[in-house]
Amino acid sequence: MPSLTNGGIMAERKKVKVVGKEGAGAPPGYKWSVHVLDRAYDEAVGFLSKPQYQHLALQVQELARQKDPTRSDLVDVRSIEAFHEIRDKGGVLGSLNVRVFFSVDKDDRSILILGAIKKQNNGPTPLGDKVRMRRRLRKFKNGDFGTISD
């Protein structure tokens, strides 16, 4: 979404943000950098309270500390096509059944947060959401989201 700069010229908001860097974070530090699409952030804050968002952010941070963020003893992660989802429900989330979609780039040692949804059923992840995440991942790989910024 564009925003006004001091000169009154419209500047576009960064579409991908770095929220964690490999080696940063509390000891022992992150083993993976974390990038978030602005669309993913907008989706999440659209249905999560601040404590709920922080809870899921902590889960992503935990994955960034893992040797392999696609497998965790502490975070429920499932593979979907060429990306993965964090599955969470209950606790601070209350009755929300939340999915956070992400991709892993092993060469770059980065986790890319693609999106978040509030599932309305207990079945498989809806096809429309899978298609949307697949499209976002493809666009990211094609450079359609621009450069990554801190």
Instruction: Place 150 in a pLDDT band, splitting at 50, 70 and 90.
Output: low
Q: Which residues contact 141 (CB under 8 A, 6 or more apart)?
A: none
SS3 track for 31-85: CCEEEEEHHHHHHHHHHCCHHHHHHHHHHHHHHHHCCCCCCCCCCCEEEECCEEE
Q: What is the pLDDT of residues 29-60, one digit of tens each?
A: 899 999 999 999 999 999 999 999 999 999 99
- Residue 14's pLDDT is 61
Written as six digits, the tokens of 117 are 């949804």
Instruction: Place 149 in a pLDDT band, splitting at 50, 70 and 90.
Output: low
- Residue 107's pLDDT is 93
Mean pLDDT (the chain, rounded): 87
Residue 109 pLDDT exceeds 90: yes
Provide the pairing of β-strand 77-80 with 97-105.
unpaired
Q: What angle do CA 138, 25, 33 make, to 5 degrees?
A: 15
Q: What is the pLDDT of residues 3-27, one digit of tens each?
A: 334 444 444 456 888 888 888 887 7
- Residue 7's pLDDT is 46
Alpha carbon distance 31, 45 (integer Å): 26
Residue 143 pLDDT exceeds 80: yes
